[in-house]
């Protein structure tokens, strides 16, 4: 029978995921505040405000629920509303039903890690960020794992892709991260975010065992200086300014994606080089292909 997947927070990643699932034969429902962007996508639109109890009660039954909501802004109240509070409300809604999802997937972030010295981290590493974002995401993860529903959290590293080109624009301004101390950068292309989620759902449909947690980052954790220097070489820009102050607050870690690779996932963009080449070409940043 055709599987039904409900994508809560069907934005940029959700729409790419929805397309992949439609191609795999799923019925896909996309929930978001404004559904105009879903028109003619094949994804069934569902207007949703998580603060509306009636809207939550009316959420459709689904085989898979993917929670990809994002905070409206970068502050503690917005993060609490979007992550622990929003997820807990959805969990309560489905826990009360006779027909529960086969699996609920929560999109988390590697910001839960607090490591600052370039340590390698995987799913077993301590996730003890002291920032509000990481702490609230950890609270949401724990709520998922404490629920009687079957759930998997996926921690994405820094997401980039079409329209997510802030680093490219910084390089075009002549800015670059300092070489020392090395501040490690971990990234994943938007299309691989959707690809990972689709892959995990596909494994579950096929009856393969899934873990409760996956770290999803590409195969090239490298110092941010090296990433920006490579971009500068492709863009033919000479860096003139070293970025200092904001980087002192950054975590610095190297994400190990071995568990994800062991599931058989094949990255479309295994490193920032392939991924940013696509973004630069599609975004018109390059006169000629890389």
49 within a domain of the structure (yes/no): yes
- Looking at the DSSP bridge assignments, the partners of residue 204 are none
Tell me if 127 is assigned to some domain: yes
Using CA atoms of 68, 143, 105, 13 in order, give the dihedral in degrees to the nearest 10. Answer: 10
CATH of the domain at 54: 3.40.50.720
Torsional sign, CA 49, 50, 51, 54: positive
Domain annotation covers residue 204: yes
pLDDT at res. 247: 47
- Could you read off the pLDDT of 114-127 as tens digits, one per residue? 999 999 999 999 99
Residue 158 has pLDDT above 60, yes or no: yes
The structure's pTM equals 0.95
Give me the domain span that covers residue 202: 4-161+187-221+253-269
Overall number of domains in the chain: 1
Has residue 248 got a pLDDT over 60?
Answer: no
Asked, for residue 122, whether it belongs to a domain, the answer is yes
**Helix H or strand E segment including 231:** helix 224-235
Tell me 30's DSSP state.
E
């Amino acid at each position: 029978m055709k599987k039904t997947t409900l994508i809560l927070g069907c934005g940029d990643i959700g729409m790419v995921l929805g397309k992949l699932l439609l191609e795999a034969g799923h019925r896909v429902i996309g929930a978001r505040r404004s559904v105009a962007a879903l028109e003619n996508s094949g994804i069934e639109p569902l207007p949703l405000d998580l603060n509306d109890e009636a809207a939550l009660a009316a959420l459709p039954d689904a085989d898979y629920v993917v929670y990809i909501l994002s905070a409206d802004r970068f502050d503690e109240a917005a993060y609490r509303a979007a992550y622990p509070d929003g997820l807990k409300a959805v969990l309560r809604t489905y826990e009360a039903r006779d027909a529960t999802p086969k699996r609920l997937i929560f999109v988390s972030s590697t910001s839960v890690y607090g490591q600052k010295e370039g340590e390698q981290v995987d799913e077993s590493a301590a996730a003890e960020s002291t920032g509000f974002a990481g702490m609230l995401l950890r609270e949401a993860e724990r709520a998922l794992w404490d629920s009687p529903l079957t759930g998997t959290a996926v921690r994405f590293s820094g997401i980039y892709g079409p329209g997510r080109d802030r680093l490219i624009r910084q390089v075009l301004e002549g800015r670059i991260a300092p070489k020392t101390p090395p501040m490690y950068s971990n990234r994943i292309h938007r299309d691989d975010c959707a690809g990972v989620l689709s892959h995990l759902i596909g494994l579950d449909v096929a009856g393969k065992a899934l873990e409760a947690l996956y770290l999803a980052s590409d195969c090239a954790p490298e110092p941010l200086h090296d990433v920006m220097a490579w971009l500068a070489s492709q863009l033919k820009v000479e860096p003139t300014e070293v970025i200092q102050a904001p980087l002192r607050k950054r975590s610095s870690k190297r994400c190990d994606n071995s568990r994800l690779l062991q599931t058989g996932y094949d990255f479309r963009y295994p490193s920032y080089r392939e991924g940013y080449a696509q973004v630069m070409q599609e975004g018109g940043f390059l006169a000629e292909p890389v």
